Amino acid sequence: MKHPSSRIVLDYWNERRRGRPAPERTDIDPGAIRHALPDTFMLAADFVGDLRFRLAGTRVCALFGREVKGESFRSFWAEESRQQIDSLLGTVTDENIGAVAGLAGTSADGIEINIEMLLLPLAHSGQTRIRALGVLAPMAPPFWLGEKAVIELTVRTLRHIDGERDDVPASAATRRRRGFTVYPGGRAAPETERTG
């Protein structure tokens, strides 16, 4: 992750999990991530299973040139990325696995900007509809932000963030530290010399 807002939100999400796969919506205090709030959003499931923006920060709305609350998250994606986004949303909400993605945002006149997206699951049970916490942030905000709108997003890179499981099978020789797997080996710590 390169964007400061992504790092702030991921660190806070990891802290609030307290050993669980994902924190609850009620565990998230917006004041604790106030410096990242303009770039953050929350997704909620509607009654037909579509994830929609429940909340969106001011810079997220400026990116699209309008208030996006209530709009389908899927509708912002280019055709070639929709299947990938559908799969990603299922992974995030059903398997409690987060993701960070490099995106291209395209304006109506064809200008592209690089955007970082962080998407993290929120635990849900019963009637809770909030399913994910995210960040959408331009890597270098364009001068036209707020005047022109990004009309389409395309996935360029994607990496999963999973604090509980790893693509590499864990063994007794590994230990986990806040979302990372530490493998023993490499340089040993230098031994202190004894004198006398």
How does pLDDT run across 130-169, given as a tens digit for each residue? 889 999 999 998 888 888 999 999 999 999 986 543 333 3
Identify the pLDDT of residue 127: 60
Mean pLDDT of the chain: 83
Question: pLDDT by residue (tens digit) across 70-127?
Answer: 999 999 999 999 999 999 999 998 889 999 999 999 999 999 999 999 999 999 766 6
The set of residues, in sequence order, having a beta carbon less than 8 Å from that of 115 and lying 6+ positions away, is: 63, 102, 103, 104, 105, 136, 137, 138, 139, 150, 153
Q: Write the single-letter amino acid at 51.
A: L
pLDDT at 43: 95
Q: Which domains does the chain have, with CATH numbers?
A: 4-164 (3.30.450.20)
In the predicted model, is pLDDT for residue 191 greater than 70? no
Q: Which is nearest to 154 in space by CA: 110, 120, 189, 186?
A: 110
pLDDT at 129 (0 to 100): 80
Longest dimension (CA), the chain: 77
pLDDT at 133: 96
Q: Is the Cβ–Cβ distance between 135 and 145 less than 8 Å?
A: no
Helix, strand and coil content of the chain, in percent to the nearest 5, comes to 25, 35, 40
- For 39-60, what is each residue's pLDDT tens digit? 999 999 876 678 999 999 999 9
Residue 61's pLDDT band (boundaries 50, 70, 90)?
very high
Run of H or E residues at 43: strand 40-45
- Pairing type for strands 40-45 and 180-182 reads unpaired
According to DSSP H, which parts of the chain are helical?
A: 4-17, 58-64, 79-95
The burial class, CB within 10 Å (0-12 / 13-18 / 19+), for 43 is: buried
At residue 175, the 3 state secondary structure works out as: strand
Using CA atoms, how far apart are residues 82 and 102, in angstroms rounded to an integer?
15
Render pLDDT for 27-42 as a digit per residue (tens, 0 to 9).
Answer: 999 999 999 999 999 9
